[in-house]
Amino acid sequence: MLTLPTAHCALCMTTVEQGLAQLPGVHDARVNLTLKRVAVAADPDVTAETLIAALGRLGYEAHELDAGTLRATQTDKMGRELLMRLGVAGFAMMNIMLLSVAVWSGAEDATRIMFEWISAAIALPTVIFSGQPFFRNAVGALRAGRLGMDVPISLAILLATAMSLYETAEGGGHTYFDAAVSLTFFLLAGRYLDYRTRAVARSAAEELAALEVPRATRVVDGVETVVAIADLRPGDLVRVRPGGRMPVDGVVVEGTSELDRSLLTGESLPVWAGPAAEVSAGEVNLTGPLLVRVTAAGRDSSLHRMADLVAVAESAKNRYTTLADRAARIYAPGVHILAFSTFLFWLWFSRGDLHLALNIGVAVLIITCPCALGLAVPAVVTAASGRLFRQGLLIKEGSALERLAEVDTVVFDKTGTLTMGAPEAVDLAAQSPADVALAAGLAAASSHPLARALAAAAAAAGIAAAAVDAVHEVPGYGVEGLWQGRRVRLGRAPWVGTEPIDRTASYLEAGDGAAPRAFAFADHLRPGAEAAIAALKAQGKTVHLISGDSAGVVAELATRLGIADWMAGALPAEKAARIAALSTGGHRVLMVGDGLNDTAALTAAHVSISPASALDAARVASDMVLLGSDLTPIGEAARIARLATRRIKENFAVSALYNLIAVPLAMMGIATPLMAALAMSASSITVSLNALRLR
């Protein structure tokens, strides 16, 4: 894995991938443009130095990715640099415009010359300083023998400045310092908007890797030793104490406990673990110590495999390119050919008048400068993002709106996404107050989610907990104690001697010879869940429900929401596989999920959304984040996405129409460089105003 700090467009992505693929021993190269990294699959003898040297020849700075570089790439250095240069260009542009007003108003002779030299004194250092992002990329591209969008941009800025300096020195009266600085300002604005849409994203694979336990307690002949995970082998025994995260995949050989595996399976409730039970890395041991025999550790663990799934899906998603990036592949060389051809024609037609030919050539170069093209997408994304943000939805990735507009299938996770993810006791009124008080007395001694929910519900109902003696928790089973001389229990159905009901429940054995009582629990729907699903269906989208929970619970929720296609007991890989199958079938999938178990599916989907309450890994893997608990904005986002895509296409039409009208005028010598700069600015303003209609 290498970092590419200067890569910024689809043309960069294509150049890097194709250039590396031509190296001997390199099998595949995939650029993650959002994270500015390239993952290379190559033979062992292909070193990082070889790849870095090859990227250098292509015109790209590259570094080997290590922990220090990783932290460095997460800083906002590039954003601060762009913003600083943008501010300088904007300040200089305003001052030069003020000076230009005096010239346009009829200032003559010494007064006009003075204003032009003052403009030159402001413009020259501004162009040198603020144009650095374009100049660096252009030089790198030319050294590698290729043309990119920054080459015509740099030429237009430099030629406009050079021509203006020449005219000022000769007293010709045709200066374009305002054009040069305006070009720089507008193009920096577009570059900064594009940067901000990309910079928010971080790798979900990194979040997953952060959950991997670096060390474990190995047990050999009864002696415990703390060792690195890399030193463990299948068959080793490890001790996992309560509260600790499972360091390996394995099988329990001693002890009983309950495990929180919501990170891996989406199960909302802890599950029992005892001898012969299988455990996975990343699960949290809740109540009792366990001795586990290792079956897989380190890179072979289920947690690491999930991280690999996320990394692969991330790279695949980021191969998507915007309309502007695709147009740039043809546009960049076309600008040079057109401007140079115009220059040669007028040099021939004017019988060697270099001044005239250069003026017309510069006008063509400026008028075809891709400022409106560069703003077409970021301006719309910014306007749409602001509107959706006010409605409670944050857009993290620049192309997310375009991809959301293409969606025809929506997949929801259940726990924590469609529901609040917190169990609540229901139908307490159907139980006798004495049973509720006894259950609350037992529940008060446990930190189990169901026990806490039961104790809270009893308190809310005004029922005081019974005083139960000798209360203690039996890991993996429940709580028991003595009440009025009888043994009483609250916990799992088999433990209290009854059959489980077809819903989430905890069972009370009161020791009175009567059948155990079942206390049922429900997880409430998120606000707006029904409205969001109804809105998506009204737009003609197919809705699916995929969850790691039990079939009965998932089926009940699917029926309530009117979702015909649902899947229960799904593991992370199965969720991602289901998304992949839908995608392979020609569907464009929106995935909505909140758990670590959803990250692979979120990144594999065409576009993804997570609620703000989701785990960090799910939020950073998604393209959009719901800021509140209400799901209603999802339906609105799908509608706005289609509208935003329409605005983007309109902006491209405006840019094309502008070029069809303005370019021939410039080529005929009718438009001066200053007129070209004004026309270019007008097209940029038109594009921006059209984007603001979304607000």
Residue-wise DSSP of 576-610:
HHHHHHHHHTT--EEEE--SGGGHHHHHHSSEEEE
Burial category of 124 from C-beta neighbours within 10 Å (exposed 0-12, middle 13-18, buried 19 and up): middle
| 245 DSSP β-pair partners | 284
Interior angle at CA 446, CA 445 and CA 448, nearest 5: 165
Q: What would the two tokens of residue 619 be? A: 């939020």
- Told to judge if 413 belongs to the known catalytic residues of this protein, a careful annotator would answer yes
Burial category of 644 from C-beta neighbours within 10 Å (exposed 0-12, middle 13-18, buried 19 and up): buried
| 609 DSSP β-pair partners | 592, 624
- SS3 of residue 210 by DSSP: helix
Measured in degrees and rounded to the nearest 5, phi and psi for residue 27 equal -95, -35
Residue ranges in 544-672 assigned as alpha helix (H): 551-561, 572-584, 599-604, 616-621, 633-667
Q: How far apart are CA 16 and CA 141, in angstroms?
A: 12
| 238 DSSP β-pair partners | 218, 292
Q: What would the two tokens of residue 279 be? A: 């455990």
Nearest to 679 by CA among 695, 691, 661, 653: 661
Interhelix angle 77-104/177-199, nearest 10 degrees: 160
Which of 413, 435, 623, 630 is catalytic? The answer is 413
Q: Taking the mean position of all CA atoms in its chain, how far away is CA 603?
A: 8
Radius of gyration of the chain measured on its C-alpha atoms: 32
Burial category of 490 from C-beta neighbours within 10 Å (exposed 0-12, middle 13-18, buried 19 and up): buried
Q: How far apart are CA 573 and CA 391, in angstroms?
A: 33
Residue-wise DSSP of 284-339:
EE-SS-EEEEEEE-GGGSHHHHHHHHHHHHHHHHTT---HHHHHHHHHHHHHHHHH
Q: How far apart are CA 169 and CA 178, in angstroms?
A: 17
Taking CA atoms, 213 is separated from 50, 128, 281, in Å, by 33, 50, 8
Q: β-strand 26-32 against 409-412: which pairing, if any?
A: unpaired
Residues 6+ away with beta carbon under 8 Å from 356: 346, 350, 669
Query: Which residues are known to be catalytic?
Result: 413
